[in-house]
Amino acid sequence: MAFVQWDPAVYVRRASERARPFVELVARVGAEPEAVRSITDVGCGPGHLTVSLADRYPLARITGFDSSPAMIAEARATDRVHFAVGDATSYRPAPDTDLVVSNAVLQWIDGHPGLLGDWARQLRPDAWLAVQVPGNRDAPSHVAVRELSADPRWSDRLTGIAESGPVLDPAGYAALLTAEHCEPDAWETTYLHDLDAEGDVHPVLTWLEGTTLRPVIAALGPGDYPGFAAALTARLDADYPIGDGHVWYPFRRVFVVARKRR
């Protein structure tokens, strides 16, 4: 993955839509809240969701880390929630970790199923994993980003970089974690986001600029990104027409929560 400049201000524009999968993910963790003493949030972003874990788990020490210094600069530590810059690929759960959460991160990491398997292997019995990844690669918006990245106008800088890695289906994550002596609960949800059109920018473009387009923006820079955005907007106008000032944007996400067996 190329260097990606994350922009917390852009990311949180759709904070409530982005929060819902996190809430629904963590709700499926079956541990007694008082029994959870140590939590790691891998790829915590700006940290507001990490901090929400302190309410659900009143006795836990919580660490959120993220590879983006800009995201960590936004995160607000408390007496029980700490933040640090760090890379998920070199993370392994400590022996006392009770819960590893990773929301909308692993799709950025090549070969992430292997990494997830490593985490599961390291977990102590009765510890929990809770992972959510977007499963929207085949959506018209994401197909358009890939196809335009292959266009000769931009392909010299974009080949391979606009690709977040393929994610597994729920059954794939369930099989992976069962093989690592976990009891998985895996599912998928397609959210139908109601995006308001504000100003001239297509709302799906605004959504994509918070996440999927970060590598494209970084690679093309302010000189060439506007041309790419204009071409993408033409595709989005056709695939997600704006009616009555808003757009319905379906977004599939894949979830897996698992407890390590004794």
Ligand X SMILES: C[S@@+](CC[C@H](N)C(=O)[O-])C[C@H]1O[C@@H](n2cnc3c(N)ncnc32)[C@H](O)[C@@H]1O
**Residue of 33, 58, 78, 89 interacting with ligand X (CB under 6 A):** 89
Q: Which is nearer to ligand X, 7 or 237 (CB)?
A: 7
In order of 9, 56, 119, 123, 124, the CA distances from 94 in angstroms are 32, 21, 10, 8, 9
Q: Which is nearer to ligand X, 34 or 87 (CB)?
A: 87
CB 177 within 8 A of CB 258: yes
We find the least distance from the C-beta atom of residue 18 to ligand X, in angstroms, to be: 6
84 contact partners, CB below 8 Å, separation of at least 6: 63, 64, 65, 72
Q: Which stretch binds ligand X (CB under 6 A): 84-92, 156-164, 187-195, 245-253?
A: 84-92
- The one segment of 26-34, 39-47, 122-130, 164-172 that binds ligand X by CB under 6 A: 39-47
Sheet holding 128-134, edge to edge: 81-85, 61-66, 38-42, 99-103, 128-134, 246-260, 182-196
Residues 83 and 64 sit within 8 Å (Cβ to Cβ): yes
Q: Is 249 in the site for ligand X (CB under 6 A)?
A: no
Beta carbon of residue 39, minimum distance to ligand X (angstroms, whole number): 13
CB of 165 to ligand X, least distance (A): 11
Contact present, 162 and 108 (Cβ < 8 Å): no
**Spatial distance between the Cα atoms of 247 and 240, rounded to a whole number of angstroms:** 6
For residues 43 to 62, the per-residue mask of contacts with ligand X, x marking binding by CB under 6 A and - elsewhere, is: xxx---x-------------
Q: How far is the CB of 94 from ligand X (least distance, A)?
A: 17
- Closest to ligand X by CB, 19 vs 31, is 19
Residues 88/40, Cβ–Cβ less than 8 Å: no
Q: In terms of DSSP bridges, do strands 246-260 and 128-134 run parallel, antiparallel, or are they unpaired?
A: antiparallel
Segment near ligand X (CB under 6 A); pick from 67-75, 176-184, 228-236, 248-256: 67-75
C-alpha distances in Å from residue 130, one per residue of 4, 84, 164, 169 = 25, 20, 20, 15
For residue 164, the minimal CB distance to ligand X (Å) is 9
**Residues 24 and 44: beta-carbon distance below 8 Å:** no
Smallest gap from Cβ 159 to ligand X, in A, equals 20
Residues 93 to 152 in contact with ligand X, rule: CB under 6 A: 103-105, 108-109
Query: Site for ligand X (CB under 6 A): which residue of 38, 63, 67, 97?
Result: 67
The residues that bridge with 131 in the sheet, in sequence order, are: 102, 256
Determine which residue in the list 26, 62, 81, 88 makes contact with ligand X, applying CB under 6 A.
88
What are the residues binding ligand X (CB under 6 A)? 6, 18, 22, 43-45, 49, 66-68, 71, 87-89, 103-105, 108-109, 211
